Amino acid sequence: MKSSTSRSTSSRQVNDIEFITRDEALKILGIKKESLYTYASRGLIKKTKDPVKNTSLYLKTDVEKMKTRAGIRQGVQRVAPMLRYGEPVVQSWICDITSEGPRYRGHLATSLAREGRSFEFVVDLIWGGIPRTKDMPWNTREVSLPQHIHQVISLYDPQISPLNTFAAIALKLRTLNLTDDNDENMNSRSIGINLIQAFSGLAGYFGSKHEYEATVDQEFISKRLIRGFELAEHSKANIIEQAINSSLILCADHELSAPTFTARITASTGVDLFACIVSALMAQSGPMQVGGASDLEDLLENIINSPSGLVDTYFEIPCFDHPLYDQDPRAIEIMKYVELIASDNYTATFLLEFVSTIQHKSGRYPNIFGALVILAMSLGLKKGAAAFLHTLGRSAGWVAHTVEQRLTGTMLRPRAHYMA
């Protein structure tokens, strides 16, 4: 299969993925090539082939991580490299990243998704530490959203920038003083539910009605989303709802990603939960976070419209690969649903073939952002839907980390090494 794009995806940095040559890796590590080959053979440094030049390339973040570990063994802890996929710098009881994907308080996220657990079940697990006895939707009595929230949303276009709309909603809820800030830790669950419920209504803006999708009592978030997406009557509605629910679960948390760390830093200053979520949303919108999904949307749209050309380079495709995984386990789960949808879906079939080609040529595989874009496009959703889904799910983790950080009672204030 051949693929094309009408513009270079290297105009801005999207992936935090960079492959370097053998000589560059040796220079960073200060070792002999035999040692580098040993690290690569043991899986400590990811190695791939440049299909054009037929040379070996090494994942830069893995090389940096090896350098950090070497420094720690020698008694020299360098904070800067430790903050880039290095050693842990913050204690947390919420999420642990393993080779099988994230574990939420000891429960593997992919297992929770495969078991058919609801997003609400997983959110309460992350927030409370103890899962519910059964899956139950949140009661509308727990939701105290103002009736005029749609007026705030109407000022924005969620299809272009759902994150900006999320931020506007959070700021609006903050100004309404829905909780006593002096007792915020006691009300963090109700605040979190209000935020997620308000965010969920944006699903209606990705449908033809282009309006806020109201909540219904005793309805799971995933059901509300497919109503908003106007997919509830689809022939594969049950599979689609499972795909949406699983996606939210897999997005719920991923330890100290940049937006989550931003939320924790903000929380450490003592501000309210709303402000912490807004700060995370701003970091989330960056092109090296979910903001980069728009680059992949553009690229794939161009490829579908003109499938006879060639991608400039396999290593410029946005939202492929992840520094912490050989293949992102969360993306693998989401792509399984794309395969189920693909039987009578041209777009899904085409995109699966594209992924297979890229994987065969370069060993690269979509990360969770990429998988969400492919899922959303396969479902015929408008641009921005992938960013919407990921951010809606991740909001749960931001609430948990904000509360956990505030309970420590300390302020995060790293130091810089001044370069004279």
Q: Which residues contact 73 (CB under 8 A, 6 or more apart)?
A: none
User: Is the predicted pLDDT of residue 75 greater than 80, yes or no?
Assistant: no
**Of 8-22, 206-220, 255-269, minimum mean pLDDT range:** 8-22
Q: Look-up: residue for tokens 């890229």?
A: 358
Q: Which residues contact 320 (CB under 8 A, 6 or more apart)?
A: 15, 17, 358, 364, 365, 366, 367, 370
- Mind listing the pLDDT tens digit for each residue in 354-404? 999 889 888 889 999 999 999 999 999 999 999 999 999 999 999 999 999
SS3 of residue 103 by DSSP: strand
| pLDDT grade for 76, boundaries at 50, 70 and 90 | very low
Asked if residue 55 is part of any domain, the answer here is no
Show the tokens assigned to 35: 């040692």
The per-residue pLDDT for 87 is: 58
- Tell me the whole-structure pTM to 2 decimals: 0.84
Asked if residue 232 is part of any domain, the answer here is yes
The per-residue pLDDT for 10 is: 43
With contact defined as beta carbons under 8 Å apart, do 102 and 96 qualify?
Answer: yes
Show the tokens assigned to 305: 């419209």
The CB-side HSE value for 72 (13 A sphere, CA atoms) comes to 14
SS3 of residue 165 by DSSP: helix
Return d(Cα 388, Cα 199) in angstroms, integer. 9
The per-residue pLDDT for 48 is: 81
Q: What is the mean pLDDT of residues 312-324?
A: 81
Show the tokens assigned to 20: 């370097």
Please state, in angstroms and as integers, the Cα–Cα distance from residue 322 to each residue in 177, 186, 314, 330, 366, following that order. Answer: 39, 36, 15, 11, 8
Asked if residue 50 is part of any domain, the answer here is no
Asked if residue 30 is part of any domain, the answer here is no
The domain of 303 spans 1-15+118-420
Asked if residue 151 is part of any domain, the answer here is yes
Return d(Cα 198, Cα 227) in angstroms, integer. 15
Other beta carbons within 10 angstroms of residue 325's beta carbon come to: 20
Q: How many domains does the chain have?
A: 1
Asked if residue 40 is part of any domain, the answer here is no
Q: List helix spans (H) across 273-345.
A: 273-284, 293-305, 329-341
User: Is the predicted pLDDT of residue 351 greater than 60, yes or no?
Assistant: yes
Q: Tell me the one-letter amino acid at 273.
A: L
Check which CATH number belongs to the domain holding 308 and give it.
Answer: 1.10.580.10
Burial 11-31 (b: 16+ CB within 10 A, else e): eeebbbbbbeebeebbeebeb
Show the tokens assigned to 135: 């899956």
Mean predicted lDDT score pLDDT of the chain: 85
**Of 7-21, 148-162, 331-345, minimum mean pLDDT range:** 7-21
Give the distance from CA 239 to its chain's centroid. 21
Residue 63 phi, psi dihedral angles, 5° rounding: -65, -45
- Mind listing the pLDDT tens digit for each residue in 59-68? 887 888 787 6
* Nearest in space to 210 (alpha carbons), one of 155, 165, 154: 154
- Mind listing the pLDDT tens digit for each residue in 119-130? 999 999 999 988
Give the distance from CA 171 to its chain's centroid. 22
Return d(Cα 20, Cα 1) in angstroms, integer. 27
Angle at 102 between CA 97 and CA 106, to 5 degrees: 95
Ramachandran region of residue 363, left (φ > 0), alpha (ψ -120 to 50) or beta?
left
* Nearest in space to 335 (alpha carbons), one of 377, 393, 289: 377
Exposed, middle or buried, 321 (CB in 10 Å: 0-12/13-18/19+)?
Answer: buried
DSSP 302-318: HHHH-TTS--S-GGG-T
Asked if residue 23 is part of any domain, the answer here is no
Burial 152-166 (b: 16+ CB within 10 A, else e): bbeebebbebbbbbb
The per-residue pLDDT for 72 is: 42
Angle at 390 between CA 216 and CA 315, to 5 degrees: 155
Asked if residue 184 is part of any domain, the answer here is yes
The per-residue pLDDT for 123 is: 97
- Mind listing the pLDDT tens digit for each residue in 189-227? 989 998 999 999 999 989 888 888 888 888 999 999 999
Give the distance from CA 255 to its chain's centroid. 11
- Mind listing the pLDDT tens digit for each residue in 94-104? 999 999 999 99
Return d(Cα 36, Cα 60) in angstroms, integer. 12
* Alpha-carbon Rg for the chain in angstroms: 22
